[in-house]
Amino acid sequence: MNLPRMGLGCMSLSHAYGTPPSEEDGLRLLRAALDGGIGMLDTATLYGGGRNEELVGRALSGRRDEVVLASKGGMALIDGVKRIDGRPETLRAQVDASLGRLGVEHIDLYYLHRWDRSVPIGESVGALAELVAAGKIGAIGLSEVSVARLREALAVAPIAAVQNEYSLWSRNPELGMLDATRDAGIALVAFSPIARGFLGDAVRDPQELDANDIRRSMPRFLPEHWPANAALLPAWRALAAEAGCTPAQLALAWLLSRGPHVAPIPGTTRIDHLHENQAAAELVVDPALLARAGVLIDTATVSGARYAPGPAAEVDAESLEDAA
């Protein structure tokens, strides 16, 4: 399926980054995104224990046909605890629940949010293929998977998109997934394209983040790594100024230059940042400057792993730490 070059990641409106905005403010942002022509909204069963899908559903009321609607299953909050469960019966139930929360009859793109290592991926994908045949979902996606897992899935059913983390400071897709998706005609949907706010110059002191902000447990934001990473920001700001754009826009422009099949989904809780991100799709940046950006912020210059050991064990995508 053809995806827009850029979408909106909706997670931060309900989940993960401290206290989310009010429902009214979340709706205001989503409606501003629709008014601005954003082409894809990305949500999930997990986000806010289903509240994010309900929020997106309210925003889409009367406007369903304006966007590609994407959601995810196979990972959910059960009694407040995150559970990965890729069993066919679980996925069928979660799709039905997502349809209800979203208030729609059809979800355009539905991802397996994480591969459940206790369930062969072919079984999970096979269940999603049945849901495609039933008309409940339009296409199948996979999230945080490796090239090997993608190939296993492709042996069972067509895969429309792979959603893995990809940004200047998280280059894991360059260990094979960038090429594999391009060669197979699959979209590579890049989540956290602004490096969880780092490349947007939005984090000045991680110790000031809300106590329940997930970045507080991510190695790159911890005291042993943050000073080295923060030291990159003055040169990053200067490079964006040279490009005539904001730091966040430069991060998105670099990603968009990685191939026509790469689709970033930056998230935000602020309408001014929403418009700033959307404008990045129209930027023309000198390729030589983009190359310099790729040298300044790269695996060799960034300190710390992508995830702490626990969350890292949940991810199947190729690991730069393992490749080192």
Query: What residues are annotated to the active site?
Result: 47
Please list, in sequence order, all residues whose beta carbon lies within 8 angstroms of the beta carbon of residue 240, skipping any fewer than 6 positions away.
246, 247, 249, 250
Structure tokens at 272: 């001014």
Q: How many residues does the chain have?
A: 324
Distance in angstroms (rounded) separating the CA atoms of residues 188 and 262: 5
Distance in angstroms (rounded) separating the CA atoms of residues 304 and 301: 10
Torsion from C-alpha of 188, 189, 191, 197, nearest 10 degrees: 90
Q: Which has the closest alpha carbon to 110: 186, 13, 45, 180?
A: 45
Q: Quote the strand ranges of 120-273, DSSP E.
A: 137-143, 161-165, 187-191, 262-264
Please list, in sequence order, all residues whose beta carbon lies within 8 angstroms of the beta carbon of residue 40, skipping any fewer than 6 positions away.
3, 4, 6, 7, 8, 67, 68, 69, 70, 263, 265
Tally of CB atoms within 10 A around 109: 24
Strand order of the β-sheet with 137-143 is: 8-9, 40-42, 68-73, 107-112, 137-143, 161-165, 187-191, 262-264
DSSP 8-state symbol, 244 = T
Q: Do 43 and 109 contact (CB within 8 A), yes or no?
A: no
Largest CA distance in the chain: 53
